[in-house]
Amino acid sequence: MTHLKDILIDFKRLFVPGDFEVTRYDKEYVLKAEQHSLNKASRLELEKVRDLLKNSRPQHILDLGCNSGRPLDFICQAFEANGSGVDVNTQAILKAQIDYPNRAFLTYQGEELPFENESFDHVMIHHVLGHVKDPIFTLQEIWRVLRPGASVSIITPNTYFKLWQFPFNVINGFSPDISVLRYYDPTYLKQLLQQLSFSTEKIFTFGAPPTACPSIIHKIFLLRVVALARKIK
């Protein structure tokens, strides 16, 4: 029954965002998120972001929701860049500071980012926008700390994937991460970015298709939405 309750909460949040459940972010969550960052799909996502950034080669990168620091370190190594990471999970930050002592990691409680205006060439917000209590405020803070013309990369679950996959999740006993408060499709995410004066350079679905999805419509229903947007000068 517990997994069914969680699935129903997860499904409800496709239409009605829920409350922020900070109690879900503990040491166990750190390890779960780190295991996710090691799988093939996550590696492919990071490689895609790295490829999107090849022309701009950012030198000062922020990862908002960095967990234990692995994705930030991967992107920073690709460009020999300086990296900073923030996360609400104290346990995640402690682990990041140990594992990646050459990066700067700070605990962040979802308020103003602890950085000066125009501090970064790129901000990563991967698997985080759906978790934050106020996505508008979060994106405004990203805008503030980005330099003119600098970029932000977003990776977030695809609404359409979740809709299609829901009955299969119920059948198969899937246990969702119900700390995800909302989902985005490409159109909705693009509109949100434009509302905040970001210029969207790329936005697409990426990853595996849902179960039993006809190949002719795979593109619409792929697992993630990936976006690269730029702060308009």
Residues 6+ apart with CB under 8 A from 64: 86, 108, 113, 123, 124, 125, 128, 138, 142
For the segment 80-124, what is each residue's pLDDT rounded down to a tens digit?
Answer: 999 999 998 888 999 999 999 999 999 988 789 999 999 999 999
Q: What order of strands is seen across the sheet that includes strand 120-126?
A: 104-107, 82-87, 60-64, 120-126, 146-157, 224-231, 198-206
Whether 109 is in a domain gets the answer yes
Q: How far is the C-alpha of 222 from the C-alpha of 45, rounded, in Å? A: 13
- Report DSSP state, residue 55: T
Pairing label, strands 60-64, 82-87: parallel
Whether 226 is in a domain gets the answer yes
Q: What is the pLDDT of residue 39?
A: 82
Q: Is the pLDDT of residue 21 over 70?
A: no
Q: Domain span at residue 201?
A: 20-158+177-231
Average pLDDT value for residue range 206-231: 96
Residues 6+ apart with CB under 8 A from 88: 22, 25, 65, 107, 108, 109, 110
Distances (CA, A) of 113 to 109, 147, 220, 225: 9, 14, 34, 24
Classify residue 38 as exposed, middle or buried by CB count within 10 Å of its CB (0-12, 13-18, 19+).
Answer: exposed
**Total number of domains in the chain:** 1
Q: pTM score, two decimals?
A: 0.93
Q: What is the pLDDT of residue 1?
A: 63
pLDDT bracket for residue 24 (50, 70, 90): low
Whether 14 is in a domain gets the answer no
Q: Which residue has the higher pLDDT, 37 or 210?
A: 210
Q: How far is the C-alpha of 44 from the C-alpha of 71, rounded, in Å? A: 11
Contact between 72 and 105 under an 8 Å Cβ cutoff? The reply is: no
Distances (CA, A) of 69 to 22, 101, 124, 141, 179: 19, 10, 12, 20, 20
- Report DSSP state, residue 127: S
Average pLDDT value for residue range 204-224: 96
Q: How far is the C-alpha of 20 from the C-alpha of 85, rounded, in Å? A: 21
For the segment 35-89, what is each residue's pLDDT rounded down to a tens digit?
Answer: 777 788 889 999 999 999 999 999 999 999 999 999 999 999 999 999 999 998 8
Q: How far is the C-alpha of 72 from the C-alpha of 61, rounded, in Å? A: 8
Whether 197 is in a domain gets the answer yes
For the segment 127-181, what is each residue's pLDDT rounded down to a tens digit?
Answer: 999 999 899 999 999 999 999 999 999 999 999 999 999 999 999 888 888 888 9
Q: What is the pLDDT of residue 40?
A: 85
Q: Which of 177, 191, 68 is nearest to 139 (CA)?
A: 191
Whether 168 is in a domain gets the answer no
Q: What is the pLDDT of residue 19?
A: 63
Whether 47 is in a domain gets the answer yes
Pairing label, strands 60-64, 120-126: parallel
3-state secondary structure of 224: strand
Residue 89 belongs to domain with CATH number: 3.40.50.150
Q: Is the pLDDT of residue 182 over 70?
A: yes
Q: What is the pLDDT of residue 201?
A: 96
> How many C-alpha atoms does 19 have within 13 Å on its Cβ side?
3
Whether 3 is in a domain gets the answer no
Whether 80 is in a domain gets the answer yes
